[in-house]
């Protein structure tokens, strides 16, 4: 336990397409994990300081709809959700009271997270994990030691003033503030700041260019200072620019990439199974459509025959229609069946419309399915060798799945 304890806070941005993987990991919705140090029996010990009502993606869209946030001007693939991870060495908590102490520590860290996010209304979820075993320290001490840390998922927003333009009918309003919106913007939220001296003047280099301070470095300062002021002592701020600090961030990113790859592998397996089911459904719908079309054609031919029968007979001197006995008998028989056929024709037309509509829905789902796996395909294209090795290692592990329930067929395959 001679290692210096240091506090660290990391921040990472995600696109909407990547929220599902983060949600399943943070909220423990997977049925299995590539990280074998996660003890699923301790999941109930994880502490939520704020629970997400619905999925991360659904909550984000609801915030847009009710005006809490604005995505005006954002690109389709923009990074719209951030995650802060607050962390200190496992040994620090072990020396100071373990689980109970960690809950108090991260409850205070969550108060800082609310300030950093700009308000609790912008936070989707905040959960302290208490179920990840620290393997190295556990082996060193000969007993299970757990790595406590806090995940805070939030929407990065900045206040933006919208001005009245020249299109405004009142010239006096042009250039004045029309409204203030909370714009989603990761880059503006975490833009580097100009370095100031003690007198508040901007510091510049030898060429006169303003010196900038990394926004995440300032976040590290605020985390350390906030926790010290709250009475949590005996740890240091992560060293600025040190190899150890950089290695910690690198290890964290590698861990996240492994979790992401494992999640994608599970998603691909699920999507392949869903694709097979959708393909089968499409074929069935195609056959059903062909059958309905055939029935409709037959019914339309019968309708044409009825039209021809209407021209049967001749008018007499008094303007009345006269039919031959055989014509009258034939007409009477067809009239009775025609009444039934008319109702059947309307029903067939309705079924045909529903079938066409259903076919379009399944085609849309198929296209959506192909889009969801594009991240995995891109990863495989950019890093084919690393992806192949990762997938080979994942074959020996239980894959992460995207849904808490599985089909009986898939469950039997996993049990083997």
Q: Both 217 and 311 in a single domain?
A: no
In a domain, 221, yes or no: yes
CA dist., res. 172 & res. 106, Å (int)? 51
Q: pLDDT value at position 226?
A: 96
CA dist., res. 196 & res. 182, Å (int)? 28
CA dist., res. 384 & res. 390, Å (int)? 10
Q: Both 64 and 197 in a single domain?
A: yes
In a domain, 380, yes or no: yes
Q: What percent of the chain has pLDDT over 70?
A: 70
Half-sphere exposure of 311 (CA within 13 A, CB side): 4
Q: Both 164 and 30 in a single domain?
A: yes
Higher pLDDT, 363 or 37: 37
Q: pLDDT value at position 159?
A: 85
CA dist., res. 108 & res. 7, Å (int)? 13
Q: pLDDT value at position 11?
A: 95
**What confidence category does residue 193 fall into, taking pLDDT thresholds of 50, 70 and 90?**
confident
- Residues 128 and 150: beta-carbon distance below 8 Å: yes
Q: Both 278 and 236 in a single domain?
A: no
0.85 exceeded by the pTM?
A: no
CA dist., res. 61 & res. 68, Å (int)? 10
Q: Which of 240, 261, 282 is the last residue of a domain?
A: 240
Q: What is the pLDDT of residues 81-126, one digit of tens each?
A: 999 999 999 999 999 999 999 999 999 999 999 999 999 999 999 9
DSSP-based three-state secondary structure for 240: coil
Residue 187 belongs to domain with CATH number: 3.30.930.30
Q: What is the pLDDT of residues 351-379, one digit of tens each?
A: 878 777 777 777 777 777 777 676 667 77
Q: pLDDT value at position 118?
A: 94
In a domain, 344, yes or no: yes
Q: pLDDT value at position 395?
A: 64
Q: What is the pLDDT of residues 309-339, one digit of tens each?
A: 566 666 555 656 666 677 667 767 767 766 6
What average pLDDT does range 121-137 have in this prediction?
Answer: 94
What average pLDDT does range 179-200 have in this prediction?
Answer: 84
Q: What percent of the chain has pLDDT over 90?
A: 34
In a domain, 261, yes or no: no
Sheet-wide strand order for 149-154: 47-50, 123-129, 149-154, 79-88, 6-15, 236-237
DSSP 203: P
Token pair belonging to 267: 């998603």
What average pLDDT does range 153-165 have in this prediction?
Answer: 87
Q: pLDDT value at position 272?
A: 63
Q: What mean pLDDT value characterizes the chain?
A: 78
Q: pLDDT value at position 290?
A: 72
Q: Which of 195, 223, 240 is the last residue of a domain?
A: 240
Q: pLDDT value at position 274?
A: 66
Q: pLDDT value at position 4?
A: 80
Q: Based on the structure, what is the number of domains in the chain?
A: 2
Q: Both 182 and 226 in a single domain?
A: yes
Output the CA angle 358-359-362, nearest 5 degrees: 90
Q: Both 109 and 230 in a single domain?
A: yes
Domain, as residue range, for 24: 6-240
Q: Both 231 and 291 in a single domain?
A: no
Q: What is the pLDDT of residues 219-277, one digit of tens each?
A: 999 999 999 999 998 888 866 544 333 334 445 445 555 555 555 555 555 556 666 76
Q: pLDDT value at position 400?
A: 47
DSSP-based three-state secondary structure for 315: strand
Most confident of 33-42, 73-82, 241-250: 73-82
């Amino acid at each position: 336990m001679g290692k210096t304890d240091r506090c660290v806070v990391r921040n990472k941005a995600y696109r909407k397409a990547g929220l599902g993987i983060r949600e399943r990991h943070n909220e423990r919705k997977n049925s299995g994990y590539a990280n074998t140090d996660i003890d699923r029996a301790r999941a109930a010990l994880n502490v939520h300081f704020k629970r997400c009502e619905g999925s991360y993606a659904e909550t984000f869209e609801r915030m847009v709809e009710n005006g809490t946030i604005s995505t005006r001007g954002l690109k389709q693939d923009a990074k719209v959700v951030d995650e802060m991870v607050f962390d200190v060495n496992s040994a620090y908590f072990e020396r100071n009271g373990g689980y109970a102490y960690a809950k108090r520590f991260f409850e205070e860290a969550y108060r800082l997270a609310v300030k950093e996010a700009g308000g609790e209304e912008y936070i989707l979820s905040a959960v302290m994990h208490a179920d990840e075993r620290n393997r190295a320290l556990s082996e060193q001490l000969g007993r299970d030691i757990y790595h406590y840390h806090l995940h805070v998922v939030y929407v990065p927003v900045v206040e933006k003033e919208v001005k009245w333009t020249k299109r405004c009918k009142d010239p006096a309003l042009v250039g004045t503030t029309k409204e203030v919106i909370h714009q989603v913007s990761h880059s503006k939220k975490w833009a580097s700041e100009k370095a100031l001296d003690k007198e508040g003047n901007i510091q510049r280099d030898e060429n006169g260019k303003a010196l900038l301070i990394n926004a995440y470095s300032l976040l590290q300062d605020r985390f350390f200072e906030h926790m010290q002021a709250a009475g949590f002592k005996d740890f240091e701020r992560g060293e600025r620019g040190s190899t150890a600090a950089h290695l910690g961030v690198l290890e964290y990113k590698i861990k996240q990439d492994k979790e992401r790859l494992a999640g994608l592998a599970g998603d691909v397996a699920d999507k392949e199974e869903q694709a097979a089911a959708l393909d089968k459904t499409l074929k069935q719908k195609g056959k059903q459509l062909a059958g309905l079309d055939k029935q409709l054609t037959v019914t339309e031919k019968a309708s044409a025959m009825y039209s021809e029968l209407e021209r049967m007979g001749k008018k007499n001197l008094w303007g009345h229609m006269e039919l031959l006995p055989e014509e009258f008998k034939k007409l009477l028989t067809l009239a009775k069946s025609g009444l039934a056929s008319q109702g059947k024709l309307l029903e067939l037309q309705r079924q045909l419309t529903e079938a066409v509509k259903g076919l379009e829905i399944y085609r849309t789902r198929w296209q959506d399915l192909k889009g969801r796996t594009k991240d995995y395909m891109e990863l495989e294209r950019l890093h084919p060798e690393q992806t192949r090795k990762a997938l080979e290692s994942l074959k020996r592990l239980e894959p992460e799945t995207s849904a808490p329930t599985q089909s009986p067929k898939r469950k039997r395959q996993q049990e083997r």
